[in-house]
Amino acid sequence: MHEITVKGIHKSLNENGYICGVPFAASITSAIQTKPVSGAFLYGPAGTGKSFLPIVLSKTLGVEMFFYQCAPGTREDDLVLKMLPSEVTKSGVEIKKSTVFKAAEASHKNKVMLVLDEWDKTRPTADGFFLDFLQYGRLSIPGTDINANLDNMFIFFTANDEREFHEALLRRFPKIDVNPLESSLVMSALRLTHDGHPHLGNAIKLYEKAVMSGMSKPATIQEIRQLLDAISFLGKGADWNSLVYQFVTKTPENHSLLKDAQSSEYVPVNGNIAELDSKKFTGDIAEKKVKKKKIIMPTKIDYLTKVKPIDDAKDIPSDNEIYGVYDYTDENYSMLAHQEMRNRIANDDVAVVDDFEVIRGKLIRKKPYQLTEMSITQYARDAEGITEVAYVDKNCTFKDLTRMPNWTYWTIRRYSKDEVVARYQSKDGGGGVAMTIDMRWTKDNGITVIIAADSPKSSTDFWGRRGNVGQFLNVSEYGTENASLALFSSKLDNGRYNGILNIRNIITHEGIEYSAKINENTDRTTNFGLGYIASQSTDVITDSVSTTYIGRGFEVGIFSNDATDYAFASVNIDGNPTRTALEGINLLTASMMIKEADHSQLNIPVYKAVKVNSRKLANHLKKRGWRFLGKRLGMMGKRYKSTENHMCYCFLFENLAIFGFAYDYDNITDKSQVFSRMRRIVSQLAEAASVNV
């Protein structure tokens, strides 16, 4: 279903075999719309369809369902892993991921439904475990951790009231009582299959008496249908008493309870909750104003923090000189200043910050940003005020435009092979325009983008999305650039999760360059390989927030971040480092955290990019023993004996080729020599491509 409505949920549930009324469908609809986690506790006696409801609902919503059947004494460990006998392991036991863990993994790709059936059979300690999961989405088994995407999960608990639940867990979800159906709904359901049956009225009376009898479970629609089928089949040989026992009561105890209830009047079960008078919850609300406390400071020491206002009485530049405008507020000025501090830059003039100058109540930038320089603002996430900033990228091609976020929703105003002009607008919650993006692309100058938004963060949120055919731009959290690292990870990313503009920017690299975030709380010396790097450094530059190691053929920087537990590291290799330095850089690289690749997939990329006709280059390489690898379109490879038979890759993009190896330190014997040969091979290949193609 595309749109979740009470009417739609009610219709779909009934069509798929779960009979219910509109009020019950309304309860379900509101439950699956709850935040931060959608779902509910489903309470009710056995046989009322608590377990069947999520099964039908998952089909209705079109999501994958993960069903876990709790058993008496189920522990929290059982929810995450299961231990199975194994002839392979030394211990004779193999640990496998359980249903909850699999659901958490799947939630990163699609919306899923997790059903924990008969939760009241678990041990009480399981409540605390799952409370932590609902709050943080964390799950762990030996050797593996995962954080679930709770925004993509529907979670349903079913229970028969065998034990009380932890109050904090109950507060996380709405509670829905699943009571026996009213007899009118049962009649509607039976008419779908047995309309006109001579004993249909008798079957409804049987259902009502079964509900009133206090049997361990009331008669189900399926059981009554089976009873009616048996009556039809046996005809005159049908015996009511024996057939009711066979298909409905099934035990002497239940049969006796039904006999005792034969004279009872039917009363629909509605949960027996008190009815509130809504009129008692109306009326005016008296709001008392809180008196503000007067803040008093001695005036004689004001001069210690008093500063002169910034002189902004300057001429406003002409339109063709302006590439960015922010409202001049403390929040925006501070955001730009923090950005400069992260790059360890400071101007002599306080009126100039991050190339913005304070002019007539505005912060005005006189040169454009590169699109690949866009990063998530850490220090002013809640800054408000109109912003207008220009970004450019000369490397953007005509075909790259289809990767732009929401491209099919852009209004194209000019379109030819030499020029494209388009506009995109997003709306705020009230239907107003929250952001306007004007774009112009030309064959000669690439792309220019002007973003006008009501918040500095709006544009970074937008550009971080993936387009229909792949990522247009990587928007990093720290201003890092990991395009080359992602390209030569073991996944060999083809640009679907790696911004095409970031990939094209590799052409500007003189050597090997990449940077990414690292966990600040990790032991740097042991896990980051900085001990090896430091031992091979001829110069170490340290200040309060960073350390830079400079040695033969390399420069490695570690930069702290006061906003989170993460720092970031940068690697620049322009020569042939020693074996020990390579070991340290390998450890540091494996500790980096980038999207779509885990630590075990990251190797040192050894590469060289060249602008070239990709189609002609592919034909040229095929004649020289290269072949298409099939892992993605436009990727070729050839093994070189001099590199211990490692594969050299060639990534072919429009008008761009990138030759490179994934230098896997642990799987190379002649460490430094192989690295040197890899660098030489990619340089020779790039040079030959530029000359011969």
Report the pLDDT value the prediction gives residue 380, as an integer from 0 to 100: 45
**Segment holding 177, helix H or strand E:** strand 175-177
Asked whether 330 and 373 are in contact (CB, 8 A), the reply is no
The CA distance from 417 to 435, in Å, is: 28
Q: Which range (94-98, 114-118, 282-286) has the least confidence?
A: 282-286
- Name beta bridge partners: 420: 415, 441
Task: Return the CATH number of the domain spanning residue range 6-177.
Answer: 3.40.50.300
pLDDT tens digits for 49-62? 888 899 999 998 99
604, pLDDT greater than 90:
yes
Asked whether 210 and 258 are in contact (CB, 8 A), the reply is yes
608, pLDDT greater than 60:
yes
- Name beta bridge partners: 391: 369, 449
Quote the DSSP letter at residue 340. Answer: H
**Residue ranges, CATH 3.40.50.300, the chain:** 6-177
442, pLDDT greater than 90:
yes
Report the pLDDT value the prediction gives residue 563, as an integer from 0 to 100: 53
Residue 686, token pair as written in the block = 């790039």
Task: Spell 620-654 as b/e; 16+ CB within 10 A means b.
Answer: bbeeeebebeeeeebebbbeeeebeebebbbbbbe
Which of the pair, 32 or 308, is modelled with greater confidence? 32
371, pLDDT greater than 90:
no
- What value does the mean pLDDT take over residues 126-146? 70
Query: What does pTM read for this prediction?
Result: 0.54
Instruction: Name the average pLDDT for the chain.
Output: 82
186, pLDDT greater than 50:
yes
- What value does the mean pLDDT take over residues 140-144? 56
- The confidence band for 185, taking pLDDT boundaries of 50, 70 and 90, is confident
pLDDT tens digits for 159-179? 987 778 878 778 888 888 888
- The confidence band for 599, taking pLDDT boundaries of 50, 70 and 90, is very low
Report the pLDDT value the prediction gives residue 552, as an integer from 0 to 100: 96
Residue 508, token pair as written in the block = 């500007």
135, pLDDT greater than 70:
yes
- The confidence band for 459, taking pLDDT boundaries of 50, 70 and 90, is confident
- What value does the mean pLDDT take over residues 418-444? 85
- What value does the mean pLDDT take over residues 660-671? 93
Distances (CA, A) of 256 to 206, 226, 231, 332, 447: 14, 21, 22, 78, 82
